[in-house]
Structure 1
């Protein structure tokens, strides 16, 4: 089995796609005004509007801007450099400036326009660096 995609449901697809383009430097593929994808080396971040929920049984199955459990994580080469690059863009949404976590990653935590938590991290301990040599687990 292979996890290939995470989808965020939003009421403003364009705004969220533009945000993720800004923070990742990637271009979103906009298939329709209601669905976009950002493809990374290992997975895809899909962004779907509430209108796409009709294909899954109705708008009641997912609520935009209600996530309080998941964190969208990006492995980056240098979290401090990314923080400096994005500091003014993220100024009001930073939850935690770059901090070394007990499991060996230096982590920058912030929120996207819908309030979803986003983590940029860089492995910094020997064990963490070794873990990510072959890619995220």
Structure 2
């Protein structure tokens, strides 16, 4: 079994989609304001307008992306103007993680696992 899709509900599909397209360095060729697929390898990240009123940061979700070079990503995100909540930090289990928020205040973690 594979995870086929993760969907983020939002009031601003364009803003959130553009954030993730920039973050993932993907151009899906879409400017749809209701629904966008952002495909990364085998999994699809979908951003969808669902007309539901939500309080700030009520999604209770964390998206984690495994990266090859955490220091490069840290500098890239800072250059994009993304506020980093936690800079690259080695965790007790050996991974190096950093965290930040997307425009809808969903928590995002970039993680790096050292090669054995």
TM-score (norm 1): 0.74
Counterpart of 1:79?
A: 70
Which 5+ residue runs of structure 1 have no aligned equivalent?
A: 52-58, 127-137
- Work out the CA distance in 2 between the residues paired with 1:64 and 1:28: 29
Q: Whose RCO is larger (CA < 8 A, sep 6+)?
A: 2
Question: Which deviations, in whole Å up to 9, do the C-alpha atoms of 1:75-133 show, x marking residues without a partner?
Answer: 11101101111213244x3110011111221111000000001111110263xxxxxxx
Equivalent runs, 1:16-55 vs 2, <5 Å: 16-28=16-28, 30=30, 32-51=32-51
Counterpart of 1:103?
A: 93
Instruction: Please provide the CA RMSD for this pair.
Output: 2.1
Bigger helix share: 1
Paired residues in the alignment total 116
Q: What secondary structure does 2:30 align onto?
A: strand
Q: Which has the larger radius of gyration?
A: 1
